[in-house]
Amino acid sequence: MENKYEFIPMFKEEEILRRIKEVANQISLDYKGQNLHCICVLKGATIFMSQLLKNIKHDNLTIDYISVSSYGIGGRESSGVVKILKDIDSSIEGKNVLIVEDILDTGNTLDRLIAILATRNPNSIKMCTMLDKPSRRLKPIKPDYVGFTIDNVFVLGYGLDFDEYYRNLPYVAKAVEKGEEHE
């Protein structure tokens, strides 16, 4: 694949890891003495969740995975149509659910996902996102735990992709097409 983007680092790996520890400490405190079932939204949240889990101090923690999509192939914008590509494997009835997401943008995907999971009788549902982009919100979704709040920019790396590429960048970068004006 020809790289038509220039990557402008926004958050370095050290900064991300430091923030993840802070978020994990808050989650550990908030769920002390309770069960916690973390659901990773594939594929983008895998790197974020793996680092988060290593830092959550909790004995009664379980994990699961779900894959949803609202982006078409090659898309930089959400289509608004949410599809479940892979459902969770275990029951969440009576559990405290923490949805772990890479980026919260329009809120369409998370709004639909919360509605689906709520029908399965969890004790609670909260949300943790590595990146929050509130300027694009179309649904009244407010994350419970946020790594970083960003402006309306296209980002890649640390699990975030474009057409399945660039997830392996060890940092989060603003992606601009080569030749585009940028700050």
Q: Which pLDDT belongs to residue 77?
A: 55
- The DSSP 8-state label assigned to residue 132 in this structure reads E
Q: Is residue 161 part of a domain?
A: no
- pTM of the predicted protein model: 0.90
Q: Which pLDDT belongs to residue 58?
A: 86
Q: Is residue 51 part of a domain?
A: yes
Q: Which pLDDT belongs to residue 163?
A: 85
Half-sphere exposure of 146 (CA within 13 A, CB side): 13
Q: Is residue 83 part of a domain?
A: yes
Residues of the chain with pLDDT under 70: 1-2, 70-80, 180-183
Q: Is residue 119 part of a domain?
A: yes
Q: Which pLDDT belongs to residue 141?
A: 94
How many domains is the chain built from?
A: 1
Q: Which pLDDT belongs to residue 162?
A: 85
User: Which CATH number covers residue 89?
Assistant: 3.40.50.2020
- The DSSP 8-state label assigned to residue 57 in this structure reads -
Question: Is 163 a catalytic site residue?
Answer: no
Q: Is residue 88 part of a domain?
A: yes
Q: Is residue 166 part of a domain?
A: no
Q: Which pLDDT belongs to residue 72?
A: 53
Range of the domain at 117: 13-150
Q: Which pLDDT belongs to residue 55?
A: 97
Measure the CA–CA gap between 80 and 166, rounded to whole angstroms. 23
Q: Which pLDDT belongs to residue 73?
A: 47
In contact, 179 and 15? CB cutoff 8 Å? no
Phi (first) and psi of residue 178, to 5 degrees: -55, 135
Kindly give the residue spans of alpha helices, DSSP state H, lying in 37-165.
46-55, 108-118
Q: Is residue 172 part of a domain?
A: no
Phi (first) and psi of residue 158, to 5 degrees: 50, 40
Q: Is residue 145 part of a domain?
A: yes
Among 30, 102, 105, 111, the active-site one is 105
